[in-house]
């Protein structure tokens, strides 16, 4: 059974295929694409051989890889309940901090291994920037899993680029041009960057998206027609 079918089965929602929603909301499952290096945010049960020794996070050029699926959720103290109108309507709205629009703290959980996108003061293995890892068990980790989404509009619009800023250390999720050898040959290094730039811009690609405008009416989930 495809992953999209499994998600629909367990959430007891009716599935509608197509581009029916333009927003990324709590409970959405997405693939994030770095257009500068043309890779998708990726993880797998492969540990770093240095630094923290935690599960590695990379950028893969492959589109159809289930290890690039990430669940968007709130922080541990702000759990969102699937099926609640409140979290769908509230999630995805940005706010101003200076001249930047920011959205509340979010976590990205790697769907296959159930570990959260994470960072901390360890050096990355290839470029000696800040390490990005996948951390925790069954979706539970610590404050190093918290990120702020920086967007250009009032909502997280899947048609626009966003940046992810790490709450604890103020770095931006980005990619370098350096690539790993075996066992993850050809995958790019994902790091925390001290400054924003094109290497830190992400686009929302394939995914399963909850549509807030229809949630209270027919509880639809919209799927991108591309493979997850």
Query: Domain ranges in the chain?
Result: 23-207
What is the third-level CATH fold of 23-207? Trefoil (Acidic Fibroblast Growth Factor, subunit A) (2.80.10)
User: Average model confidence (pLDDT) for the chain?
Assistant: 80
Alpha-carbon dihedral angle through residues 16, 20, 21, 26, given to the nearest 10 degrees: 0
3-state secondary structure of 135: strand
3-state secondary structure of 158: coil
Q: What percent of the chain has pLDDT over 70?
A: 70
Range list of β-strands (E), 5-126:
14-17, 29-34, 39-47, 55-60, 70-74, 94-97, 100-110, 116-123
Higher pLDDT, 104 or 215: 104
Query: Rounded to an integer, what distance in angstroms lies between the CA atom of residue 118 and that of residue 111?
Result: 14
Q: Would you give the end-to-end CA distance of the chain in angstroms?
A: 12
> Which residues, other chains included, contact 83 with Cβ-Cβ below 8 Å and sequence gap of 6+?
11, 219
Q: What's 128's DSSP letter?
A: S
3-state secondary structure of 215: helix
Higher pLDDT, 160 or 87: 160
How many Cα atoms within 13 Å fall on the side-chain side of residue 170?
A: 2
- Model pLDDT, residue 80: 61
- Model pLDDT, residue 59: 98
- pLDDT grade, residue 186 (50/70/90)? very high
Residue 169: Cβ within 10 Å count: 13
- Model pLDDT, residue 180: 97
pLDDT, tens digit, for every residue of 103-121? Answer: 677 899 999 999 999 999 9
pLDDT, tens digit, for every residue of 7-65? Answer: 433 332 323 333 556 778 878 899 999 999 999 999 999 999 999 999 999 999 999 99
- Model pLDDT, residue 20: 54
How many Cα atoms within 13 Å fall on the side-chain side of residue 152?
A: 9
């Amino acid at each position: 059974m495809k992953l999209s079918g499994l998600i629909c089965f367990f959430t007891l929602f009716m599935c509608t295929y197509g581009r029916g929603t333009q927003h990324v909301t709590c409970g959405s499952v997405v693939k994030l694409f770095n257009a500068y290096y043309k890779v998708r945010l990726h993880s797998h049960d492969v540990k770093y051989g240095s630094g923290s020794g935690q599960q590695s996070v990379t950028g893969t050029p492959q589109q159809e890889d289930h290890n690039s699926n990430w669940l968007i959720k709130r922080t541990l103290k702000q759990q969102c309940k699937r099926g609640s109108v409140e979290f769908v309507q509230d999630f995805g709205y940005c706010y101003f901090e200076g001249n930047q629009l920011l959205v509340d703290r979010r976590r990205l959980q790697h769907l296959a291994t159930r570990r959260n996108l994470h960072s901390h003061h360890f050096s990355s293995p290839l470029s000696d920037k800040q390490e990005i890892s996948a951390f925790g068990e069954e979706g539970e980790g610590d404050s190093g899993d918290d990120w702020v989404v920086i967007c250009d509009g009032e909502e997280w619009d899947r048609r626009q680029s966003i940046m992810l800023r790490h709450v604890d250390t103020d770095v931006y999720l980005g990619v370098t041009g350096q690539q790993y050898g075996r066992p993850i040959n050809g995958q790019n290094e994902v790091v925390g960057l001290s400054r924003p730039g094109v290497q830190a811009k992400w686009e929302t690609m394939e995914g399963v998206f909850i549509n807030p405008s229809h949630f209270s009416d027919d509880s639809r989930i919209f799927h991108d027609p591309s493979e997850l």
